[in-house]
Amino acid sequence: MVVLDIGGTKIAVARWVKGALRDRKQIVMPAGEGEWRSAIQSIAEAFPDAGRLGVAVTGSTDGHTIKAINQNVISYWNGYPLAPFLQELWGCPVFLLNDAQAAAWGEFVASGRRPKNLLFITLSTGVGGGLVLNGGLFMGHLGLAGHVGHVSSSVKALDGDSLCGCGRLNCLETVASGAALSRQATHITGANMDAAAVFAGFHAGDPTCLRIISTAALAVAHQIADAHATLGLEEVRIGGSVGLAAGMIETIVAAQKSLPLLFQVPVRRAALQADAGLIGVGHWVDQMETSL
Ligand code: ADP
Ligand code: BMX
Ligand code: ZN
């Protein structure tokens, strides 16, 4: 099998051989549709003879089409026929799964303990979420379940009310995504800063960067508490380049201390790190086939 992870910022690809990744490669996610189609075509040429294609993808998928919930990320994905496009290129069956749902499944399978109810959160270009409930991946109608990035946040961004690309106001994604960290820092300082620069400032003790990261962490801590109140979570795993950046998880755990003990769900770093989506979709396709 070949596995793909298509995110807002990067595309990762690998061969999935006996439950492990081989020949992993990564490219930047191109901005426009034409460049994106050519990039995928080049990947298909470099990774032929897939047999099956497992795809962890940003957005909401029914297994056939893809919809960007945040239309600012990929504007041409609104019921886009992703599976037929990939099927034509690879000439094999294609399985689509939301990227955070794939990562949740990867973390669940990789965890020896197999927690009953697990929430995976990716803090990346956007904020994504995936749920494993009662030991099964919960995708919901049209694959929307777990989209915690689009639940509104009582903790607002530092640059004021923010309209999310999904059409709602003050979603968690407007406070704690890589794009949100960059937007707030750029607005406050007047200098163009990406998320990595905000973390560099955070580690150097810059007060603006400290406030941006601690506000994002508090918003995530509240969102975890809200999800816990609804679902009864045993554990939360955090991934994505922002989630995995040094200091982020520690700041979320510190923010949880301001909440009643009942809502302080154990938060851990994704064991599979940046490969949780690729590995998760590999396991998911494997187990779907054995259950057929
Ligand atoms: P994707 O969203 O494509 O899955 P990532 O998980 O890499 O990709 O998340 C991309 C986001 O993470 C971008 O906003 C980017 O600026 C930010 N980012 C990338 N590297 C770092 C880093 N070292 N520290 C903090 N943020 C980072
Ligand atoms: C957005 C949404 C989710 C995705 C999450 C993380 C889009 C295109 N994606 O909330 O489906 O899981 O981002 O995705 O609307 P990433 O691109 O940051 O990895
Ligand atoms: Zn939103």
Question: CATH no. for residue 64?
Answer: 3.30.420.40
DSSP notation for 128-165: EEEEEETTEEE--GGG-TT-GGGSB-SS--TTS--B-T
- Same-domain status, 72 and 142: no
Class of residue 90 by CB neighbours under 10 A (exposed 0-12, middle 13-18, buried 19+): buried
User: For ligand 2, which residues put their CB under 6 angstroms from it?
Assistant: 7-8, 58-60, 68-70, 73-74, 98-100, 122, 124-128, 147, 149, 173
Domain identity same for 179 and 263: yes
The predicted model scores a pTM of: 0.98
- Number of domains into which the chain is organized: 2
Q: How far apart are CA 137 and CA 226, in angstroms?
A: 20
Structure tokens at 70: 């945040």
Burial 202-214 (b: 16+ CB within 10 A, else e): beeebebbbebbe
Q: In the predicted model, is pLDDT for residue 243 greater than 90?
A: yes
Ligand 2 atom nearest 8 alpha carbon = 17
Distances (CA, A) of 86 to 1, 12, 98, 104, 258: 14, 15, 16, 24, 47
289 CA → ligand 1 middle, Å: 32
Q: Which residue has a Cα nearest atom 11 of ligand 2?
A: 59
Residue 209 lies in a domain: yes
Pairing relationship of beta strands 78-80 and 66-67 according to DSSP bridges: antiparallel
124 and 229 in a common domain: yes
Domain extent, residue 43, equals 2-99
Considering the domain architecture, whether residues 86 and 116 belong to the same structural domain is answered as no
**Residue 196 included in any domain:** yes
Structure tokens at 135: 């030991």
- Domain assignment present for residue 84? The answer is yes
Lowest mean pLDDT segment, chosen from 33-37, 109-113, 184-188, 229-233: 109-113
Q: Which of 32, 64, 99 is the last residue of a domain?
A: 99
How many CB atoms within 10 Å of residue 103?
Answer: 32
* Domain-embedded: residue 161: yes
Cα distance between residue 65 and residue 101, in whole Å: 16
| Residue 164 in domain | yes
| Residue 242 Cβ contacting ligand 1 at under 6 Å | yes
Share of the chain above pLDDT 90, in %: 96
Same domain? For 126 and 262 the reply is yes
Residue 269 backbone phi and psi in degrees, to 5? -70, 145
Which sign, positive or negative, has the C-alpha torsion 26, 33, 88, 70?
positive
pLDDT in tens, 109-121: 998 878 889 999 9
What is the arithmetic mean of pLDDT over 51-72? 98
DSSP 169: B
State the chain's mean pLDDT as an integer. 97
| Domain co-membership, 153 together with 245 | yes
Q: Is pLDDT at 238 greater than 90 in this prediction?
A: yes
Report the atom number in ligand 2 closest to the C-alpha of 166. 15
Atom in ligand 1 nearest the alpha carbon of residue 274? 6
